[in-house]
Amino acid sequence: MKKSSLWAFMLMLVMALFLAACNGDSTTTEKEGEKEKDTPASTTESKEGGIVTFGTDQAPEGVFEPAYAGSIVDSYIQEFIRDEIYQVNDDLEYVPELATWEISDDKLTYTFNLEKGVKWHNGEELTVDDWVFALETLADPAYDGERYNYVENVKGAKAKKEGKADSIEGIEVVDPYTVKITFEAVKINNLENLWSHPMPKKHYEGIAIKDLGESKQVRETPVGLGAFKVKKVVDGEYSELERFDDYWKGKPTLDGVIVKVIDPSLAAGAFQNGEIDIMSIRPQSVKELSALDNVRIEETKGVGYSYIGLRFGHRDKATLTNVADFDKFKSKELRQALLYAINRPAMIDAFLEGKAEVANTVIPSTFWIAAEESELNQYEFNQDKAKELLKSAGYVDKDGDGFVEDPKGKPFKISFGHYAGPAAFEGRSQAIIQAWNDIGVKTELATGTLIEFNLYNEMKNNDDAVLEAFFGSWSTGADPDPSGLWANNAEWNFGRWVDAENQKLLDEGLSEAAFDTDYRKNVYVEWQKHINEELPAIPLWENLDLYGINNRLQGVHINAVGFQTDVYKWSVVE
């Protein structure tokens, strides 16, 4: 999934994203928030030149190729230095950017026509060979990144991934600017799930696919198509980007952008002193930043949510399938009890300054497919209800120590994981642990402490046994299809939940019948009702996307998928 590209990434990371991905706290608000916000009138005209500093409270991993990146911070940098085949508009629609396309009558073949004269940062012209190289890389058996799902629907991609073919059958290069891509089956979102990042083929010439992710070209000397190019990177501190004068949409107004790591507790002082100009901020910073005359706060409903994942099994990386072989959370009543035990409104007030809304589904309310709250179980805070559900499922305290045993009479304990960050992270992790302890479900913090963010993501990817339950956030991107995160064999289905009805509904939501939007919405509403009842994960809340912006920075356009639309138009006034 994407964050404007991401998010998918995030999501990516999402990161991670990415991924957490994507990854750290994702966020979200109202429909008008998707439109460009008015900025304070200035007595000085915007001028050409100047440097803008973007602040982030996490250090980048230093991966500048989207096919390998897993950090939300890396995705921010990529948005400055790269462009895509398509982009997402304010209405969460996919619209042409580097290419236009036509769809065949049978809806299986898409013919893409690239813009001519688009230059890479090394001066080479973009051709379809660069995009084909990217698609072939993702399907290569030696590719060790996490983006194969963005090419797997192309005809012949699976055969290449399994080493049965040297190339992807469904890709036909017509000329340097035209390519036909044929998919295995008709799906409503074949376009949205197609990898949209060309890779500079000549820049990576001579590098084996197995070595590409760790190569100097990816981590030190990246080449992109975006408005800015990488000039200097100081690990753990900042990345310096400079204007790319030959940018295909026009010469950028700014001289450059610096992406700088900032301690979030020092953000107000950094804004006041002019050290940073724009930053995605946490709710705890809003009050202090709002008091500054030179800073405006913008918030919007986005495409993210926070949840608690539950472990159901592991991922077989050889077969790219999820295997449900861990039974701790097999009881639906147990899962429901864990949600009833959490006072989500109180946690939103205590740890998010009220900048979130309780969520009972994993489809952000921004999307047109979101179910009405009246169709969902609300799971309002009720410890007595939680205890009743535990008892009905056979989880009772048989030895009188205040904690339940499982239905077989054996000790029952949950190891809960959370990543490190601001002080609020410690508070909310302890609040969740205490909530479960209060209903008699013994819960302890995995590893005894909060876990460094990148290590935490690695542990989730590798199904670390200590993460039986884990806090997570997703920024879903613009495509409402939840398959990338929740399909039975999805790589980012970190709980490894496998359920026949789940897959049936997700497949139906992508079928040819789903080209009827009413039909598709009804399918996804049914899917949300199923998730809401079964609770393979515990939905917590939708956050607000919050940004602090120095008033000297003009031209920032914020919508549900981010803040980096047309960064070449950014400018400063003094």
User: What integer pLDDT is reported at residue 43 of this predicted model?
Assistant: 45
Exposed / middle / buried, residue 299 (Cβ in 10 Å: 0-12, 13-18, 19+): buried
User: What integer pLDDT is reported at residue 431 of this predicted model?
Assistant: 98
User: What integer pLDDT is reported at residue 547 of this predicted model?
Assistant: 95
**For 307, what's the count of Cα atoms within 13 Å in the CB-facing half-sphere?**
31
Bridge partners (DSSP) listed for residue 243 = 228
Q: How far apart (Å, rounded) are the C-alpha atoms in residues 298 and 316?
A: 43
The pTM (predicted TM-score) of the whole model is 0.76
Q: Is the peptide bond before 14 cis (omega within 30 degrees of 0)?
A: yes
**Tens digits of pLDDT across the chain (574 residues):** 333 333 333 333 333 332 333 333 333 222 222 233 334 444 456 789 999 999 998 888 889 999 998 777 888 999 999 999 999 888 888 999 999 999 999 999 999 999 999 999 999 999 999 999 999 999 999 999 989 989 999 999 999 999 999 999 999 999 999 999 999 999 999 999 999 999 999 999 999 999 999 999 999 999 999 999 999 988 878 899 999 999 999 999 999 999 999 888 888 999 999 999 999 988 888 989 999 999 999 998 888 899 999 999 999 999 989 999 999 999 999 999 999 999 999 999 999 999 999 999 999 998 999 999 999 999 999 999 999 999 999 999 999 999 999 999 999 999 999 999 888 899 999 999 999 999 999 999 999 999 998 899 999 999 999 999 999 999 887 788 999 899 999 999 999 999 999 999 999 999 989 999 999 999 999 999 999 999 999 999 998 899 999 999 999 999 888 899 999 999 999 7
Bridge partners (DSSP) listed for residue 245 = none
User: What integer pLDDT is reported at residue 245 of this predicted model?
Assistant: 97
The DSSP letter of residue 211 is H
Exposed / middle / buried, residue 266 (Cβ in 10 Å: 0-12, 13-18, 19+): middle
Bridge partners (DSSP) listed for residue 563 = none
Q: How far apart (Å, rounded) are the C-alpha atoms in residues 202 and 211?
A: 16
CATH entry 3.40.390.10 includes domain 83-225: no
Q: How far apart (Å, rounded) are the C-alpha atoms in residues 257 and 383?
A: 50
CATH pick for 302-544 out of 3.50.4.10, 3.10.105.10, 3.30.360.10, 3.40.50.300: 3.10.105.10
Residue 14 token pair: 């999402």
**For 410, what's the count of Cα atoms within 13 Å in the CB-facing half-sphere?**
3
Sign of CA dihedral 358, 525, 328, 315: negative
User: What integer pLDDT is reported at residue 44 of this predicted model?
Assistant: 56
The DSSP letter of residue 124 is P
Written in H, E and C, the secondary structure of 13-58 is: EHHHHEECEECCCCCCCCHHHHCCCCCCCCCCCCECCCEEEEEECC
User: What integer pLDDT is reported at residue 57 of this predicted model?
Assistant: 83
CA distances from 278 to 130, 170, 383 (A): 33, 43, 42
What is the residue extent of each domain of the chain?
Answer: 83-225, 302-544
Provide the residue type at 498 as one letter.
V
256-261 and 51-56: which strand pairing?
A: parallel
Q: Residue 152 belongs to what H/E stretch?
A: none
